[in-house]
Structure 1
Amino acid sequence: MNMTHNKEKKIAMWSGPRNLSTAMMYCFAQRSDTSVVDEPFYAAYLATTGIQHAMYQEIIDAGQTNPTTVANYCVDTNPQQKPVFYQKQMTKHMLPSFNREWIYQVCNVFLIRDPARVIASYHAKQEDPQLADIGVREQLELFEMISQKTGSAPVVIDSADILENPELMLTALCKAIDIEFQPSMLKWTAGPKVYDGVWAPHWYKSVWQSTDFAAPNNKPVEIPQHLLGLLETANCYYERLKGYAIVAPQN
């Protein structure tokens, strides 16, 4: 694999599904210096596992199924010749059989969310999620892998904190990854985007209706009884990551 070092900033934003990840991609796409890509390993993940997600064949046909080719794209590409390349990455897509060396060539950020809200949202779209579906275990695995290899913890940000104060938390995030905050990140147009993955019609309908980060919904969510064990397990991984989450500076 060609691990070319260059001056451009490559940002891999690692999350599970239903983590505010699409809104964050839309947010970064509004920057004047940034291009984005939507879940580049999705087709390779499905082709390797054979898991029958919604729109399985469409994703396979539209995407790149060779994970090494995808990895090279993530480290060597400079879409639209812009200085910042933002990659919306799903942790569960980074299978143990894939070469992960490319990850050390990019700026890694971990976007986390309260598992109760993840599970409730995922269950509404695809019933009865398993731990492997929501990606939080894989988040901690990749976080610890990067920490051990580099000697420092990657940046972690909680989606709940972003919703509470988008400008403050995005400013803190940009500072943590050494790019300037741009106010344009706070707004986008409604509807489908040219950079959406082919799976967007199944998963993105609610975010298509948005033009900014929604006000936080702090109402408790109801988890079906048979998913409470999953919630308990997921919380263990989430709480360990939560301890590293960046905190907005106090005035």
Structure 2
Amino acid sequence: MSPTPQPLRIAMWSGPRNISTAMMRAWENRGDCAVSDEPLYAAYLAATGLNHPGREAVIAAGETDAAKVAAALSSGPAPDGQPIWYQKHMTHHLLPGQATDWVHGLHNVLLIRDPAEVVESYLKSRATVTPEDIGLLQQATLFDAIVERQGQAPVVIDAEDFLRAPGAWLQALCAHLGIGWTERMLNWPSGPRSSDGVWAPYWYDAVWASTGFEPWRPRQPRLQGEALAVADACRPAYDKLRAARMRLP
């Protein structure tokens, strides 16, 4: 018996309040792609004790052993036997000291967004924010680890660039991954999906109402005090990653 073909494993590493869930919708709508929504979230909450919305439900619904999750993501079969497996990750779910060797067997993409915009959006749903909450510092650490291990940088996509031309960016990303692109990635049915995490009612209102990527529009966040300090603390990491971002031909 011939071995089961391995799926193409795509790990999209984002921070919160980005276009990561819309991106998950795009990949799921291909028809040949399974998606996993923040598979490390339960382990992250269990390890940190943080009180996120729906904490107990998230932990109950997920696997709290990060090593087991990593093994499944890196070497297990894709859900429903699909040939492509898109894994939506929040980079801050990778805790300090946690083994990350498994990451190097994936096709890693970093999805970044200006930290001032992230902080402004984050504070609409949470009362406080820290630099560690928005993922950019962890994205920079992951970027460095991939460069050191693989000898080349992972793909970095800035959400601002992407929203100006989603079709062109998805075509470029699919070409980089060696797979075909389909216009089905640009539109999807509105509403919840069975693939959504149990935390979706707290965070996914806009995505549930969407049928495609929102048009780009200029934003001018007005932060002050601790919120501004958090954005400023993450700015060097963002600038570093943005300098290495993917560019369209």
Quickly name the TM-score band, shorter chain normalised: over 0.9
Corresponding letter in the other structure for 1:231: A
What does residue 78 of structure 1 align with? 78
Question: Per-residue deviation at 1:181?
Answer: 1.3
Counterpart in the other structure of 1:198? 198
Q: Which runs of 5 or more residues in structure 2 are unaligned?
A: none
| Shift in Å, 1:217 | 2.1
The equivalent of 1:115 in structure 2 is 115
Q: Give yes or no for contact 1:113–1:159 (8 Å, CA) kept in 2.
A: yes
Aligned length: 246
Q: Is the contact between residue 157 and residue 173 of structure 1 (CA under 8 Å) also seen in structure 2?
A: no
Question: How far did 1:231 drift?
Answer: 1.3
Task: Supply the AA of the counterpart residue of 2:153.
Answer: A
SS of equivalent to 1:125: coil
Indicate how the Cα distance of structure 1 residues 165 and 49 shifts in structure 2: closer, same or farther if over 3 A, else same. same
Q: Match for residue 44 of structure 1?
A: 43
Kept in 2, the 8 Å contact 1:31–1:185? The answer is yes
| Aligned structure 1 segments of 4 or more residues deviating by more than 4 angstroms | none
Q: Identify if the C-alpha distance between structure 1 residues 235 and 6 changes in structure 2 by more than 3 Å, giving closer, same or farther.
A: farther
Query: In the TM superposition, what whole-angstrom CA distance separates every residue of 1:80-135 from its partner, at most 9, and x where no partner exists?
Result: 11111000011110112322111011110000011111111101000221001001
Equivalent residue, structure 2, for 1:19:
18
Find the aligned partners of 2:16 and 2:140 in 1 and give their Cα distance.
Answer: 15
TM-score (norm: length of structure 2): 0.95
How far the C-alpha of 1:7 sits from its partner, in A, is 3.5
Q: Which amino acid aligns with 1:192?
A: P
Alpha-carbon distance in 2 for matches of 1:104, 1:227? 34
User: Residues 237 and 5 from structure 1, CA distance in 2 versus in 1: closer, same or farther, beyond 3 angstroms?
Assistant: farther
- Range moving further from structure 2, 206-215 or 171-180: 171-180
Residue in structure 2 matched with residue 164 of structure 1 by the alignment: 164
Paired residue type of 2:51: Q
Amino acid aligned to 2:57: E
Match of 2:63 in 1: 64
Q: Which amino acid aligns with 1:81?
A: G
What's the counterpart of residue 211 of structure 1?
211
Q: CA deviation at 1:180?
A: 1.6
* 2:105 equivalent in structure 1: 105
Structure 2 CA distance for aligned equivalents of residues 6 and 99 of structure 1 = 26
Residue of structure 2 in register with 1:225 after alignment: 225
Quote the Cα distance in structure 1 between the aligned partners of 2:47 and 2:230: 25
Counterparts of 2:123 and 2:46 in 1: how far apart (Å)?
23
Contact 1:28-1:36 at 8 Å conserved across structures? yes
What is aligned with 1:89?
89
Task: Determine what percentage of the aligned residue pairs are the same residue.
Answer: 41
Letter of the 1:149 counterpart = R
Amino acid at match of 2:96: P
Q: Deviations over 1:144-198 (max 9, x none)?
A: 1011001110111111111111101111111222222111000011111110000
State which drifts further: 207-216 or 175-184. 175-184
Structure 1 residues 168 and 175 mapped into 2: Cα distance closer, same or farther (>3 Å)? Answer: same
Query: What SS class does the counterpart of residue 60 from structure 1 fall into?
Result: helix
Cα distance in 2 for residues equivalent to 1:5 and 1:96? 34
Give the CA deviation at 1:6: 5.7
1:5–1:105 contact (8 Å) kept in structure 2: no
SS at structure 2 position matched to 1:11: strand
Compute the displacement of 1:219 (Å): 3.0
Residues 148-163 of structure 1: pairs in structure 2 closer than 5 A: 148-163=148-163
